[in-house]
Structure 1
Amino acid sequence: MAAEEYDYDLFTIGAGSGGVRASRVAAAHGAKVAIAEEFRVGGTCVIRGCVPKKMLVYGAHFAEDLKDAQNFGWSTENATFDWIKLRDNVLKDVDRLEGAYTDTLENHDVIVFRERAEITGAHQVTLASGKTVTAKYILVATGARPQIPEVKGSEHAITSNEAFHLDKVPERIIIAGGGYIANEFAGIFNEFGSKVTIVNRGDQLLRSYDEALRDRLLQISLMKGIEFKFNTVFEYIEPTDDGRFKVKLSDCDEEIVDKVMFATGRMPNTEGLGLDNVGVEIGDKGQIVVDPYSKTNIDHIYAVGDVTDRVQLTPIAIREGQAFADAVFGGMEPVAVDHSCIPSAVFSHPPIAAVGMTEGEAKNKLGSVKVYQSDFRPMKNVLAGRNERSLFKMVCDGETGKIVGIHMIAPEAAEMMQAAAIAVKAGLTKEDFDATTAIHPTMAEELVLMR
């Protein structure tokens, strides 16, 4: 089929962050583009992920801020919290963002099909309505979804998807998982007054983060009243007559809770896309297998974002979508997105942020390392009477002094980490940080004062 015989130059399946960026950029390069989305434009991050979750995190922080404000002279005794008001305001802003993403596509003349799409042949896509179209290139950007463990009664649990739509804050909630989603929602619900228990089948939280930060978060979370059960699994979940749930955990008695939430990882959305119709290779975790340039084993089919299970982060999906569109439609030199040294954050209470290697990883890879730390109580916490300490950690190559990792748990850690990550990515040394004048008094000055 000649190029001019295709209905579109690009057909994108999935209008999340990666799919929207790729489609918009391809259209800006002059391509004729269509995109299909079966749920809502914006994808997980915008609709039911990092954006609305961060809004809940902001709302939760006010619980502590209002208490702390009293030692700063403010009277807050009559403060009240209205979950419905917060929930509805967050969902209203999600609507606004969906509109903005849709406008971006339409302003670039991208055709938006609000229905499911399936690959039904070479260069061919069939929509749920029965309409069949052809495209020179097909991009799959369908993201991932919460993974539900095989537990008797698991259908009674919620996931992060449903957490944004609750009619009330649960008085008692069990959250399964030890990753960032579990710890973030544990902090949110705890600050809103829930009795929270995190149940983890393993023996540690946040396995990819530095051990010192994990331990500090556990200590602080326990102080805040969050309960943890490690090396524990669910045996069953049963509904009760009053709308709550009876939960049986291994080595524990039955208990009654208002909600059970699974935050046990995410799995790529590859089912029902027709990938097997054209022989697209699927990995052992259900992910689409791609090369460094996001191309599958089928030359005209590409995939970006969480559906490839390379790095499940919105900025990575956006970078991959941009690189794909620039190379395929912009005539630019193909670029393999660098998946190393990626900064990340956990919006727990307090938040964690990190970039580069942990101390353990650095020792295993480099052998000789030097570690610098600052363990301090932020000025705001001192006056507030909050006994909560922050920790900064810098890991350096023992031979060259090059910084290979920075890790911190502190209020606004993620905001500080963004600039620090640039320094690590650029290969700066401890001496470069030492030579930089501190901004005093700030928490960030500890980055250049560590010894």
Structure 2
Amino acid sequence: MSMQYDYDLIVLGGGSGGLAAAFRAAQHGCRVAMLEPGELGGTCVNVGCVPKKAMWLAADLSGRIGLAAALGFDVPTRAALDWKELVVHRQAYIANIHASYLKRLNENGVVRVPRKGRLVDAHTVECSDGIRISGAHILIATGAHPQRPDIPGAELGKVSDDFFHLCSAPGQVAIVGGGYIAVELAGLLQALGSRVTLLVRGDRLLERFDAELTAQLAENLCHQGVKVHFNYRLRELRRDGDAVVAYGHDGPSDGHFDEVFFATGRRGNSAGLGLEALGIEVGDKGEVEVDEWQTTAVPSVHAVGDIAGKVGLTPVAIAAARKLMDRLFGGQPHAKMDYENVASVVFSHPALGAVGLSEEEARARFDDVRVYRSNFRPMLQALANGSQRSLFKLVCAGPEERVVGVHLLGEGADEILQGFAVAVKMGATKSCFDDTVAIHPTSAEEVVLMR
């Protein structure tokens, strides 16, 4: 590596993408510095995937206890949760991740600088304490943050980060939004004791997912007790004593809530990085503009993860960072991230997963599309007289019926989807599954794949 600079790589941000890049570059023998003023792990570990999954598991247990009671077990229909005790276990788990990351950084010789950084030129970063360091390459991996809508009283609402500061379930909760964060928070809070109202601006949930699956998800949420209002345009929030009142454009007061959460999008953490002065373009949502190789208009400056505005998923950030490091330092000049057919999971109740094209996208792209589906109540739901339904869709295109999309709403969707994701990437056809996948009846209802 060149000794012209202090480091071969300077990483701004210690989230999933930044850590993956630092570890892979160090494995290639690079001198690496990482600037991160906060806790290691970024959004995913601290206010995202990890604590969310912990709360999701608790909510799932709550639902299963209710099913057990319906089946005759001597347990309460709705078991009380010591929320503070759950938070203690959750944060202890996260602390172990922090310690593990720090240990790996030390073992790999990565220098951690607990400061913010600002680009001075194509190879120089100024730390927030005024010290400057230079690097052959600079990676921006500063992530994104949730944003509030520009409406009167927006300061009265909270964002998804604030959910993890709760120590008890609020009584009445409004969640503004219809994306995956809104859906996940709605299911979690409803299962853990809140009464949730979901205020959705559009006419459906999860616009990037298959419409039939999201319609079934909306029905499931309603059966769980969540009130879902579509085509709702929030005008303002006002304080009324201890409550927050939501007002829509199409009517008077729409409800008094103990808490209102905004799940109305995220914005890249690009402010204050000095990008514009270097000619690096920043998009409308604060994302750093990069090419298909994760490189900005300045050849030595790159970006991965949420800040790059591609696919905002932790595994994608990790994969993109590793590909970039392999290209820059690993002798693999053609290594780049493939953003096609990326598997995505929403931790609703039950989970929803998808890979490839939705039915709508497939019909817009191909002339010959066939869809196979199975919609049923899982056996446990049927036995306990539950109302939750699962849905499985296989979207095929062309005379050979190549599988171009797989969509799952049901228990274990996050795990089952992985195998289908590989099959879709390899160009599998429906015939590949005909003799290997047996769809067994799992309830009193018939379960078959049918057109």
Asked if 1 retains the 8 angstrom alpha-carbon contact of 2:375 and 2:447, the reply is: no
Asked if 2 retains the 8 angstrom alpha-carbon contact of 1:438 and 1:448, the reply is: no
In structure 1, the residue matched to 2:8 is: 9
Q: Distance in 2 between matches of 1:74 and 1:415?
A: 28
SS of equivalent residue, structure 1 residue 5: coil
Asked if 1 retains the 8 angstrom alpha-carbon contact of 2:376 and 2:447, the reply is: no
In structure 1, the residue matched to 2:110 is: 110
In structure 2, the residue matched to 1:85 is: 85
In structure 1, the residue matched to 2:97 is: 97
SS of equivalent residue, structure 1 residue 428: coil
Q: Distance in 2 between matches of 1:241 and 1:282?
A: 41
Asked if 2 retains the 8 angstrom alpha-carbon contact of 1:372 and 1:395, the reply is: yes
| Percent identical residues | 40
Following superposition, which runs of at least 4 residues in structure 1 exceed 4 angstroms of deviation?
A: 439-443, 446-451
CA positional deviation for 1:235: 2.2
Aligned residue identity for 1:59? A
In structure 2, the residue matched to 1:435 is: 435
In structure 2, the residue matched to 1:150 is: 150
CA positional deviation for 1:22: 0.6
In structure 1, the residue matched to 2:75 is: 76
CA positional deviation for 1:138: 0.5
CA positional deviation for 1:299: 1.1
Q: Are residue 19 (structure 1) and residue 30 (structure 2) matched?
A: no
SS of equivalent residue, structure 2 residue 158: coil
Q: Distance in 2 between matches of 1:166 and 1:92?
A: 16
Of stretches 222-231 and 105-114 in structure 1, the one that deviates more from structure 2 is: 222-231
Asked if 2 retains the 8 angstrom alpha-carbon contact of 1:436 and 1:448, the reply is: no
Q: Distance in 2 between matches of 1:413 and 1:31?
A: 39
Of stretches 125-134 and 175-184 in structure 1, the one that deviates more from structure 2 is: 125-134
Q: Are residue 62 (structure 1) and residue 61 (structure 2) matched?
A: yes
Of stretches 398-407 and 72-81 in structure 1, the one that deviates more from structure 2 is: 72-81
Q: Distance in 1 between matches of 2:49 and 2:436?
A: 33
Superposed CA RMSD in Å reads: 1.9
Q: Are residue 324 (structure 1) and residue 348 (structure 2) matched?
A: no
CA positional deviation for 1:257: 1.0
Give the unaligned 5+ runs of structure 1: none
In structure 2, the residue matched to 1:231 is: 231
Tell me: CA distance 1:208–1:38, structure 2 relative to 1, closer, same or farther (3 Å): same
CA positional deviation for 1:276: 1.8
Asked if 1 retains the 8 angstrom alpha-carbon contact of 2:327 and 2:336, the reply is: no
Aligned residue identity for 1:405? G
In structure 2, the residue matched to 1:140 is: 140
In structure 2, the residue matched to 1:423 is: 423
Q: Distance in 2 between matches of 1:174 and 1:387?
A: 24
In structure 2, the residue matched to 1:266 is: 266
Asked if 2 retains the 8 angstrom alpha-carbon contact of 1:356 and 1:405, the reply is: yes
Tell me: CA distance 1:402–1:447, structure 2 relative to 1, closer, same or farther (3 Å): farther
In structure 1, the residue matched to 2:124 is: 124
In structure 1, the residue matched to 2:248 is: 249
In structure 2, the residue matched to 1:50 is: 49
CA positional deviation for 1:196: 0.6
Q: Distance in 1 between matches of 2:130 and 2:202?
A: 46
Give the unaligned 5+ runs of structure 2: none
CA positional deviation for 1:81: 1.1
In structure 2, the residue matched to 1:303 is: 303
In structure 1, the residue matched to 2:373 is: 373
Instruction: Within 5 Å, give how 1:32-43 maps onto structure 2.
Output: 32-43=31-42
Asked if 1 retains the 8 angstrom alpha-carbon contact of 2:173 and 2:259, the reply is: yes
CA positional deviation for 1:281: 2.0
User: How many residues of Structure 1 are paired with residues of Structure 2 in the alignment?
Assistant: 447
Q: Distance in 1 between matches of 2:142 and 2:219?
A: 38
CA positional deviation for 1:448: 8.9
CA positional deviation for 1:84: 1.2
SS of equivalent residue, structure 1 residue 286: coil
SS of equivalent residue, structure 2 residue 161: helix
